């Protein structure tokens, strides 16, 4: 098909009036580019296919190895950038070669010259040599400075646009999983003239098209990505740049060698990374003009080819049966095919329903088995947790009971003291009042006056002690209540956890015998679901075949039907 398509392209170009120029500065005055003469004895179409889209997987003359191999930029540079990079690389290698060879030679000399001969001599000892240390530091620094100048020059040259070259072109490179798209943006004859072509190539008929370049014409690559990161790399061109989605990267070079070049995406981009081969073809400028002309008519040619391919060639009618009988037979065949298709469709629908029911049953059985296992695990965990909680609470009961007993005893002491003071305090108060009354009746008796003062002080002290004892009794009663409440709560916690552990243990006992039957039911349910789903495949194939047969017999009937009269 590709050969026929190329032939139609050539016919279209010939009818168009030759191959137009693609480098004209003035579009109103195109300069015709002569068609390159094909090689004698070679079909022009085969010549163009081999020139512009060679087979990347073709073998060499022996048939044992690939014809197109990836060339090395150090032995086969194919662009000005690659040659400069190669020169700088060889220069740097020669500069740094002594730093590799001389230490090895010195090491070998020391190994053989100063090896232990077994004569008992002691080795010499050195403490350092400042002059030697300065020398072996300065020399590598000088070497790095010497190498840095050409390296900086070539790096700066690679990043600078080739504005000094009047004959140049620009290509938009877009990486995607797992192919490359190229858009030829234009060819510049000088800095002020531009021919915008906007010709796009990529994958055509499932085949990756190469990047076609003209020898001696600088090419600017504007790179990006449609998805993940890629890297465009053809070693002989000396260019490798990342293609990043949402960003534009830039590179340029001038190809100077005719031929076919292979490269590879240099950024791991997915499972098809190893198949993301990059190809480029460098041709002479007239051949490049021919390629551009063929690309311009490619879409129109493809439409023509599609129209030609869609046409069915009428064959001679050699059927001996009359048309009416053939038409009747075709109608009967359509009815039979419709009935067969309906039957197959109903069988397919029934198989789908059965498969769905089996799948739903398997899902339900699987969910039930999972629920039983989960409930058993939860109940077992509940037994463990509640048992541990009851044990922890039981440990707290003894100290809490001791504290409660202690506070109860303290409450008894304070209560007894307060009770005694309740009796003695009023008695002391009454005695003090009696003495005071007697002292009042005998004011000239100093002994009665002193006794009255002592009695009043004693009564007041008794009243104070009574108040303190009553407060201590109240406080001790509150503390005793808190201790008793804690003890009661802890004992209740022990009882509740013991009851909960007992209930969970009952569930464990009930669920344990249910686990194995639930798990055993999963296997046959899955087998039934798989069998039902597998049964759908042949039934669907039969339904598809019946539908295709129906379409075929309807097409035959349509061919036999007389054309509708024109209005």
30 falls within a domain: yes
Check whether residue 482 and residue 507 sit in a common domain: yes
CATH number at residue 341: 1.10.287
Token duo for residue 416: 């007894």
Beta bridge partners of 249: 223
Q: In this predicted structure, what is the pLDDT of residue 158?
A: 84
Whether residue 266 contacts residue 233, with contact meaning beta carbons closer than 8 Å, is answered with: yes
CB 482 within 8 A of CB 404: no
Residue 403 lies in a domain: yes
Where are the extended beta strands (E) located within 265-381?
277-283
- Report yes or no on 314 lying in a domain: no
N-terminal to C-terminal alpha carbon distance within the chain: 40
The answer to whether residues 506 and 556 belong to one domain is: yes
Q: Looking at the structure, tell me whether residues 20 and 146 fall in a common domain.
A: no
Helices 80-113 & 130-159, crossing angle to 10 degrees? 160
Q: What is the pLDDT along the chain (567 residues), one digit of tens a residue?
A: 344 344 434 444 443 333 333 333 333 333 333 444 455 555 565 666 666 766 665 555 555 555 556 676 667 788 888 888 888 989 999 999 999 999 999 999 988 888 887 777 777 777 888 888 899 899 999 999 999 998 898 888 888 888 777 788 889 999 998 888 998 887 765 545 455 567 777 776 667 788 999 998 999 999 999 999 999 999 899 888 999 999 999 899 999 988 888 888 999 988 888 888 888 899 998 888 888 888 777 766 666 656 655 544 333 344 555 666 767 777 788 788 888 888 888 888 998 898 899 899 889 988 998 988 998 899 899 889 989 988 888 888 889 888 888 888 888 888 887 888 788 878 878 887 888 777 777 776 777 778 877 888 888 887 888 888 888 888 888 888 888 888 888 888 889 988 988 988 888 888 888 888 988 888 898 888 888 888 888 888 888 888 888 788 777 767 666 555 544
The answer to whether 35 touches 207, Cβ cutoff 8 Å, is no
> What phi, psi does 96 have (nearest 5°)?
-90, -5
Of 275, 309, 343, the domain-final residue: 309
User: Looking at the structure, do residues 366 and 304 belong to the same domain, yes or no?
Assistant: no
174 and 279 inside one domain: yes
The domain tally of the chain equals 3
Residue position matching structure tokens 């990756």: 208
Pairing of strands 277-283, 259-264: antiparallel
118 belongs to a structural domain: no
DSSP 202: S
Both 300 and 388 in one domain: the answer is no
User: Structural domain of residue 106, as residue ranges?
Assistant: 80-113+128-159
C-alpha–C-alpha distance, residues 208 and 482, integer Å = 88
Residue 122 falls inside a structural domain:
no
One domain, residues 213 and 234: yes
CATH number at residue 295: 2.60.40.420
Check: CB of residue 162 under 8 Å from CB of residue 218: yes
For residue 279, the model assigns a pLDDT of: 87
Q: Edge-to-edge, what's the strand order for the sheet holding 195-201?
A: 195-201, 179-188, 168-176, 218-225, 249-253
Residue 374 burial class via C-beta count within 10 angstroms: exposed 0-12, middle 13-18, buried 19 and up: exposed
Q: Are residues 401 and 431 in the same domain?
A: yes
- What is 107-151 written as a DSSP string? HHHHHHHS---SS-PPPP-----HHHHHHHHHHHHHHHHHHHHHH
Mark whether 392 and 529 lie in a shared domain: yes
Helix (H) or strand (E) holding 243: strand 239-243
Residue 121 included in any domain: no
Co-location of 37 and 87 in the same domain: no
Question: In this structure, are 89 and 172 located in the same domain?
Answer: no
Size of the chain, expressed as the number of residues it contains = 567
Does residue 123 fall inside a structural domain? no
The answer to whether position 505 is within a domain reads yes
**Is 246 found in the same domain as 199?**
yes
**Sign of the torsion formed by the C-alpha atoms of 158, 164, 169 and 171:** positive
């Amino acid at each position: 098909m590709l050969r026929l398509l190329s032939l139609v392209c050539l016919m279209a170009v010939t009818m168009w009036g030759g191959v137009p120029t693609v480098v004209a500065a003035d579009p109103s005055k195109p300069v015709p580019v002569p068609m390159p003469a094909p090689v004698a004895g070679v079909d022009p179409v085969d010549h163009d296919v081999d020139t512009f889209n060679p087979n990347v997987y073709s073998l060499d003359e022996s048939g044992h190895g690939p014809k197109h191999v990836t060339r090395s930029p150090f032995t086969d540079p194919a662009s000005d950038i690659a040659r400069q990079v190669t020169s700088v690389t060889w220069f740097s290698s020669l500069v740094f070669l002594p730093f590799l060879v001389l230490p090895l030679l010195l090491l070998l000399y020391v190994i053989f010259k100063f090896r232990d001969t077994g004569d008992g001599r002691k080795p010499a000892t050195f403490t350092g040599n400042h002059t030697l240390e300065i020398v072996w530091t300065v020399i590598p620094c000088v070497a790095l400075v010497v190498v840095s100048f050409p390296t900086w020059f070539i790096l700066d040259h690679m990043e600078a646009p080739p504005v000094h070259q009047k004959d140049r072109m620009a290509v938009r490179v877009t990486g995607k999983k797992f192919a490359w798209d190229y858009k030829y943006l234009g060819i510049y004859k000088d800095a002020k003239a531009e021919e915008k072509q906007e010709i796009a190539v990529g994958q055509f008929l499932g085949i990756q098209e190469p990047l076609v370049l003209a020898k001696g014409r600088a090419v600017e690559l504007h790179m990006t990505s449609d998805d993940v990161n890629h890297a465009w790399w053809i070693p002989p061109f000396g260019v490798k740049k990342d293609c990043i989605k949402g960003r534009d990267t830039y590179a340029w070079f001038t190809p100077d060698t005719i031929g076919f070049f292979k490269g590879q995406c240099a950024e791991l981009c997915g499972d098809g990374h190893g198949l993301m081969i990059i190809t480029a073809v460098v041709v002479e400028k007239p051949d490049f003009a021919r390629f551009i002309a063929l690309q311009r008519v490619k879409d129109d040619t493809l439409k023509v080819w599609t129209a030609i391919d869609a046409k069915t060639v009428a064959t001679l009618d050699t059927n001996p049966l009359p048309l009416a009988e053939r038409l009747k037979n075709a109608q009967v065949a359509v009815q039979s095919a419709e009935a067969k298709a309906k039957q197959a469709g109903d069988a397919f629908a029934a198989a789908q329903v059965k498969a769905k029911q089996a799948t739903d049953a398997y899902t339900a059985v699987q969910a039930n088995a999972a629920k039983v296992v989960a409930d058993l695990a939860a109940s077992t965990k509940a037994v463990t947790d509640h048992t541990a909680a009851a044990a922890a609470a039981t440990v707290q009961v003894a100290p809490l009971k001791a504290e409660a007993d202690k506070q109860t005893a303290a409450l008894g002491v304070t209560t007894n003291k307060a009770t005694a003071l309740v009796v003695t305090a009023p008695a002391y108060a009454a005695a003090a009042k009696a003495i005071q009354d007697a002292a009042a009746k005998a004011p000239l008796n100093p002994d009665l006056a002193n006794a009255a003062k002592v009695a009043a002080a004693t009564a007041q002290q008794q009243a104070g002690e009574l108040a303190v004892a009553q407060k201590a009794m109240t406080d001790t009663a509150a503390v005793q209540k808190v201790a008793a409440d804690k003890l009661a709560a802890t004992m209740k916690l022990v009882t509740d956890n013991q009851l909960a552990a007992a209930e969970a243990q009952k569930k464990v006992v009930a669920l344990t015998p249910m686990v194995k039957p639930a798990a055993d039911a999963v296997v046959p349910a899955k087998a039934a679901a798989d069998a039902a789903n597998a049964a759908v495949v042949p039934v669907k194939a039969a339904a598809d075949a019946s539908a295709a047969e129906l379409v075929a017999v309807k097409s035959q009937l349509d061919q036999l039907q007389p054309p509708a009269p024109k209005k």
